[in-house]
A and B are shown apart, each in its own frame.
Chain A
Amino acid sequence: MAQITVDRKLCDNHGQCAIASPKVFSMNDEGILKYEETFDDALLDEVEEAIDVCPVQAIFVKD
C-alpha cells in the first residue's frame, strides 16, 4: 500500500486529481476534495498523474 497526503492549505479544489485518479480522489457536491490516504500500489501511476496535474502541487507521496 502507498500513502499520500494533500496539503489542505494549498489545495484549491480544482478537481483535476479526481479526473486523473478517480478511485483515490473525488469531489463532493460542494466541490470539496475527498481522498484515500492509502491506496493499492497498482494505482501508483495514476496517482502520480494526479500529482502532475494538480495546478497548485498540493499532493505529496508519503515515504
Chain B
Amino acid sequence: MGERIIVAGASLGGLRAAEQLRSAGWDGEITVVGEEAHPPYNRPPLSKEVLAAPGTPEEALASLTFRPKRNATGIQWRLGTRITGSNLAAGTLTLEDGEELGFNGLVVATGLRPRRVQAPGPLAGRFILRTLDDALALHAALVPGARVSVIGSGFIGCETAATAASLGCEVTLVEGRTGPMERPLGSALSRGVRALLTGRGIDCRRGVSVIRYRGTESCTGLELSDGTLLHADVVVEAVGSMANTEWLEGNDLDLGDGVECDRHLRVLTAAGQPVPGVVAVGDIARYPDVRNALPARRVEHWATPSDTAKIAAPALVAAINGLPPAEAAAPLPTFWTDIFGTRINGIGSPAHARETRVLEGNPAHPQAGVAMGYYRDNTLIGVVNAGLPASRNLHYRQLVLDAGVLVTT
C-alpha cells in the first residue's frame, strides 16, 4: 500500500480536511468516504431557503454543493459508502460490504445525526432535518394550512417553525425545558425570540415535552407533558443530535460525547494519550476550549469544520512524518441564525456565561437592534447581536477578541 490518508465523512468537515491536508503538504493518497450519495454541500439553507423553495432536487443540490479549493486535487471520493468498523492500531477501516481499507492517517469527520424523541407511538409522519433529502421530504409536507408541530426550540427547531409559518402552515413550537435558543442566547434574548415567533402566529408551548404520539399507522398528533393534546399533520423533531461514533468502538477511545481530542485535534485514548495518526474534525470533535479554560466540548457551529480542519490536518501530517504538531490556533466560535428576516449573530461562548448585560438596544425587541454581552468572572466571553448591520457585528467581534484570555498550558 502507498501512503494514504482516509477522511471518514464527506460533509463540509471532510472536504475542508482534504483541502487542508494538501495545504499542509500531503501529496500521498487522500480517500474521502461518505455515507450520503451527494458530494459535500452547505447545510444552513436546509432549514431556510431550501425548505421554503427547493426547486427540483437537482437544482437544490446544485445551489448547495461546495466548490473545492483549487489545490484540492487528486482526492478520491467514495460516496454512498458506510463505514462499519475500524482498527486504529492496525490502520484499517471496514466498509459495509466487508471491504477493508488501510491507512497511514485517519481524519474522523463523520459528524452528527439528529436525536429522536423517545416517546411511544407511530414513527411514520415524524420528520427530522439534517440532510438535503430530509429537507426535500419535509418541504413536500409543508403545504398551506397544514398543522405542523415542531418539537425542540434550538436553532433548527426555531428556523423550521419560522419557515413553516412563512409557507402558510399552522405552527406549534413545543419548546421543551428551555425557551427558544435559550442555551446559546440566554433567557432575556430568548424571550425576545419567542416574541418574534409568536408575533408571526407561531403557538409557542413553554416548559412542556412530548410524552406520547397519537395515531395508528401514521402520527396524527401528540400528547404533551401538561396533558394537552395537539393535532398535527406534520411533526418535526429537532431535539439535538448524537455523534456518529459507533464505527470507532473497540479502540479504547472516550466516545461519551463525540470523540475526545487534545488541542491539536489529535484523537485521545481513554487514558488521554494521542492515538498515532488519528485526528478529528468538525462537530464530532470534543476539544479543549483554549480561550476560556473550560473543559473539552463539541462545537456545532457552521465554522467549526473549517476551523478544526486547519488545526487537525497539519497535526496529522506532522505525526505521520514523525514531527511534533505546530502551536494550535484557538478559533473564536461564531454562529448565526435568521428568524423572519432578523439575523442573530453569536460570537465567542455565550452559553458559558455567568452574567449577561445589555450592550445596546432592548432584548425584548431583537428586530429593532440589540447586543448582549456575556461575561464570566467579569471577562467578556461572548456577544450576541440581533437586527444590527454586519459592521456592528465586526465591532463586537473585536471586543470579544480584545477581552479574550488565551490559556496555553
Task: Indicate if the CB atoms of A13 and B390 lie closer than 8 Å.
Answer: yes
| Majority-rule SS of A interface residues | loop
Chain B residues positioned under 8 Å from A61 (CB to CB): 70
Distance of A16 Cα from B57 Cα, bound (Å): 28
B271 close to A (CB within 8 Å)? no
B264 close to A (CB within 8 Å)? no
For B119-145 the 0/1 string (1 means CB < 8 A from A) is: 000000000000000000000000000
* Nearest CB of B to A12, in Å: 8
B393 close to A (CB within 8 Å)? yes
A23 close to B (CB within 8 Å)? no
Task: Indicate if the CB atoms of B391 and A31 lie closer than 8 Å.
Answer: yes
State whether A15 and B44 are in contact (beta carbons under 8 Å apart), knowing that A52-B16, A55-B302, A55-B336 are contacts in the complex.
Answer: no
Task: Indicate if the CB atoms of B306 and A14 lie closer than 8 Å.
Answer: no
| A-B pairs under 8 A by CB, number | 45
Distance of A48 Cα from B71 Cα, bound (Å): 11
Task: Indicate if the CB atoms of B42 and A14 lie closer than 8 Å.
Answer: no
Chain B residues positioned under 8 Å from A43 (CB to CB): none
Query: Which of A33, A52, A53 has the largest count of B CB atoms less than 10 A from its CB?
Result: A52
B199 close to A (CB within 8 Å)? no
A residues near B, CB below 8 A?
A: 13-16, 18-19, 27-33, 48, 52-53, 55-57, 61
A–B complex contacts, Cβ < 8 Å, 23 sampled: A15-B393, A16-B334, A18-B390, A19-B397, A27-B390, A28-B391, A29-B389, A30-B389, A30-B391, A31-B389, A31-B390, A31-B391, A32-B389, A33-B390, A48-B69, A52-B69, A52-B306, A53-B303, A55-B42, A55-B302, A56-B42, A57-B42, A57-B67
B residues near A, CB below 8 A?
A: 16, 42, 44-45, 66-67, 69-70, 302-303, 306, 334, 336, 388-394, 397
Known: A27-B391, A56-B45. 18 other contacts (CB 8 A): A14-B336, A14-B390, A15-B390, A15-B393, A18-B390, A19-B397, A27-B390, A27-B394, A29-B389, A30-B389, A30-B391, A31-B392, A32-B389, A53-B303, A55-B44, A55-B302, A57-B42, A57-B66
